[in-house]
Amino acid sequence: MTLEDRAPKSAIDSGRSAADREWFERIVVELLSDLYGTALRLTRNRADAEDLVADSVARAWSHLDELADRARLRGWLFCILTNAFLSARRTDTRRGVQQSLDDENNDGFSLFEQLHAPILLWWSSPEKEFLNNLLREDLTRAVDALPEPFRVVVVLADIQGCTYQEIAETLQVPIGTVRSRLARARGQLQKELWTHARDAGLVGRKEMKVTTES
Amino acid sequence: MNEPHVIDCEEALRRLVEYLDAELHGESQRQMEQHLERCRSCFSRIEFEKRLKASTAELRHEPVPPELERRIRSLVDTFKC
């Protein structure tokens, strides 16, 4: 059951005008591609993503009076969507569905360092070639493979463009945690891209370079 | 005006993530920019990271299934005025 089913009619009645509803619908429809894209990266499932978008839209309308500046509806919708996802996941966590990050030993992994060949610098650039050949599906697969806490922080920072402060508030963690989690998440994302490219024969089958950079 | 404190590659790489996310400010950012003007290796690294981040940002756009758009429009129609 989704929020749109659950929400009592009284919760989404609020004496707003038809112009309000028209404005709201126009913005939502304009943003639908981005809302759905963000929801899909968070849930990794099309049906769940659609439910999440619909729930968020219903939630936004029922709480519209809390939005002081209507020019901020866009960011507010993404905030509601992310919080709705996190809220559902916290319930799952209480039920014991939790992913540990302890085993993810990818601190400091750098795709650039794997690809970069300084001796060829003047006549070749493997890293540029890699990016030129990078497919959306490769990146999607790599993001989807991240453990949830890493995926969420990548979605917030890289897909939604949130600041560290905004992420810290959303996740209710200190800014230092945001910074370190984001660094680890990107390290793992790049390792996924590298492993896939290597297995597909898109880059040389050389041994992974080990780095101690943090 | 004094020349800003010069940072080395090790320090530049430590600040890379925050620079990439526009979280460096003031003197710290100026030092980073000055280093990038002088260091081809770090400049290449930052350019690579910027492009990768921009590619990741593109994942936000996803074709909307027609049934989702219909569902949302129907949902909005239930919002009473």
pLDDT confidence of residue A16: 83
The residue type found at A185 is: A
Find which of A24, A32, A175, A213 to mutate to test the B interface (most B CBs within 10 Å of its CB). A32
Closest B-chain CA to A64: B79
Please, are residues B49 and A112 in contact by the beta-carbon 8 Å criterion? Answer: yes
**Does residue A53 sit at the B interface (CB-CB below 8 Å)?**
yes
Report residues of chain A scoring pLDDT below 70.
1-14, 92-107, 117-124, 204-214
SS3 of residue B74 by DSSP: helix
pLDDT tens digits for chain B (81 residues)?
A: 555 578 999 999 999 989 999 999 999 999 999 999 999 889 999 999 999 999 999 999 999 999 999 999 999 999 977
Q: Is the pTM of this model over 0.90?
A: no
The alpha carbon of residue A84 and the mean position of all alpha carbons in its chain are separated, in whole angstroms, by 14
Q: Which token pair is B57? A: 């940002």
Q: How many CA atoms lie within 13 A of A126 on its CB side?
A: 15
Instruction: Give the C-alpha separation, A141 to A72, whole Å.
Output: 32
Nearest to A24 among B40, B52, B76 (CB): B76
First-last CA distance in chain A: 44
pLDDT confidence of residue A201: 75
Q: Identify the residue whose tokens are 């209480």.
A: A94
pLDDT confidence of residue A214: 39
pLDDT tens track for A60-85: 999 998 988 888 898 899 999 999 99
Q: What number of other Cβ atoms are within 10 A of residue A189's Cβ?
A: 24
Q: Which token pair is B31? A: 């030092």
pLDDT confidence of residue A129: 79
User: Tell me, what DSSP letter sits at residue A108?
Assistant: T
Q: Which of A115, A122, A116, A188 lies closest to A149 in space, CA to CA?
A: A188
Number of CB pairs, chain A paired with chain B, less than 8 A apart: 124
Q: How many CA atoms lie within 13 A of A132 on its CB side?
A: 5
Q: Identify the residue whose tokens are 């690809």.
A: A115
Verify whether the Cβ–Cβ distance B17 to A182 is below 8 Å: yes
Q: What angle do CA B55, B59, B60 make, to 5 degrees?
A: 125
Nearest to B61 among A34, A157, A160 (CB): A34
